[in-house]
A and B are shown apart, each in its own frame.
Chain A
Amino acid sequence: QLQLQESGPGLVKPSETLSLTCTVSGGSISSSSYYWGWIRQPPGKGLEWIGSIYYSGSTYYNPSLKSRVTISVDTSKNQFSLKLSSVTAADTAVYYCARLAVTQPFDYWGQGTLVTVSS
């Protein structure tokens, strides 16, 4: 059974860079059938797609976040990562990682991790 697990600091200071890692187990991140993505959800609000990455390193970002986002993949560790720079309180959210396929988009999700931006 495929599992995804987010990890990283739960508290980030304003203007700093938020860094999260998603570890994939029970399957290979190098499968040609899937992309891997990050989605966030501010407290009490809706879902927002941040971006997606293919195992080869090809990336797709939300245009509204593109200037601050970097998503990378480490196939040797079966992980992919998110960096979001110059964070503000508006970036406080539960951050999810998920698998994306054209056939069944976001069919597997991590449990989510709350990141709070505060000094």
Chain B
Amino acid sequence: QSALTQPASVSGSPGQSITISCTGTSSDVGSYNLVSWYQQHPGKAPKLMIYEVSKRPSGVSNRFSGSKSGNTASLTISGLQAEDEADYYCCSYAGSVVFGGGTKLTVL
């Protein structure tokens, strides 16, 4: 069970959009629409931002959106804000659970 692959870092300016990719295999990301995304600020517990590939929990801004193509899922954040600067983790949770390695988002 290998970790899902995410870029180590991404950056963008306020107001711009960024996309974070999450690549798995046909056994996890590719097989099920059970992909979630978490935001983690330093010293804090992760926060669920997206589940079932593209659904947002109540209270999460619609600036956050998710999608999937084949074995790769993606998180897009539009209208970047300073408060979006954080680490982001993808997760496949079909039976067994596997996280991505995490992506540090820097808002320039």
The answer to whether A and B come from one shared complex is yes
Query: A residues near B, CB below 8 A?
Result: 37, 39, 46-49, 52, 60, 62-64, 96, 100, 102-107, 109-112
How many CB-defined contacts (below 8 Å) exist between A and B? 63
Also in contact, A103 and B52, with CB within 8 A (given A46-B3, A60-B96, A63-B96): yes
CA distance A46 to B87 in the complex (A): 9
Say yes or no: A37-B57 contact (C-beta < 8 A), given A46-B89, A105-B48, A109-B45: no
Contact with A along B31-69 (1 / 0, CB 8 A): 000101010000001111001100001000000000000
CA distance A9 to B100 in the complex (A): 28
- Complex Cα distance, B55 from A102, in Å, reads 12
Given known contacts A46-B99, A106-B46, A100 and B93 CB-to-CB distance under 8 angstroms = yes
Please give me the 10 A-B residue pairs with the lowest Cβ-Cβ distance, nearest first: A109-B45, A49-B97, A46-B102, A47-B99, A105-B93, A46-B101, A107-B48, A105-B36, A104-B51, A63-B1
